[in-house]
């Protein structure tokens, strides 16, 4: 399966969710390739600090991913793509390469507007490949706040599935990024449980 994390807005947590999805899939015995397709190279930077190589991370910020994905994915069960911000030919190439496009967003009006633009890109690609799936994922959500509920209501207008497994605003994600680890290394943490539920839901998508 090829999972692509995309949103034309930066700072929504694409890299965090890409790394943790790859790590959780690897923990489940899957052979995983994480493609860092963001010119900023954050996933690659994280991997350079990681002591264990439980999955493969490569950099490929080129608008030819859709043409090369078959050969790239040949030796893996799953591929996770950490996409760039902004609408570019690279983003379009990533969408065409993906089985599922996950659009992370924070609970804010600006993130909803940016998500809508990314959904439009996906729909454009679906004209060439109707099999491409798309879903929205709420990230950095602050528990028990009205804005989380309000955003879900606003997102219904996009007519795209919204994952039920929200990811909370937790210091553990920032701390793990700095040390080349993941929250999954703290097996019983709330953050780890959120990631596990998130990946469970991704894998159940029809």
At 194 the pLDDT is 93
Residue ranges of the chain whose pLDDT lies below 50: none
At 150 the pLDDT is 75
Tell me how far apart the alpha carbons of residues 199 and 206 are, in angstroms, rounded to a whole number. 14
Beta strands 100-105; 133-138: pairing state: parallel
At 31 the pLDDT is 97
Tell me how far apart the alpha carbons of residues 179 and 195 are, in angstroms, rounded to a whole number. 18
At 148 the pLDDT is 62
Its CATH class, for the domain covering 2-195, is alpha beta
pLDDT in tens, 46-75: 998 887 778 999 999 899 999 999 999 999
């Amino acid at each position: 399966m090829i999972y692509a994390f995309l949103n034309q807005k930066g700072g929504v947590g694409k890299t965090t969710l890409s790394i943790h999805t790859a790590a959780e899939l690897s923990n489940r015995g899957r052979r995983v390739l994480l493609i860092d397709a963001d010119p900023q190279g954050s996933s690659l930077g994280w991997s350079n600090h990681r002591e264990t190589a439980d999955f493969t991370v490569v950099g490929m910020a080129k608008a030819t991913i859709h043409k090369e994905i078959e050969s790239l994915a040949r030796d893996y069960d799953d591929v996770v793509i950490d996409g760039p911000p902004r609408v570019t030919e690279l983003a379009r190439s990533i969408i065409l390469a993906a089985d599922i496009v996950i659009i992370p967003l924070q609970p804010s009006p600006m993130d909803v507007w940016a998500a809508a633009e990314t959904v439009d890109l996906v729909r454009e690609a679906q004209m060439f490949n109707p099999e491409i799936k798309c879903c929205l994922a709420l990230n950095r959500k602050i528990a028990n706040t009205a804005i989380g509920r309000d955003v879900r209501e606003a997102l219904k207008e996009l007519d795209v599935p919204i994952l039920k497994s929200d990811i909370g605003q937790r210091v553990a994600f920032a701390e793990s990024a700095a040390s080349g680890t993941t929250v999954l290394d703290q097996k019983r943490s709330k953050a780890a449980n959120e990631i596990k539920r998130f990946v469970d839901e991704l894998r159940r998508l029809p």
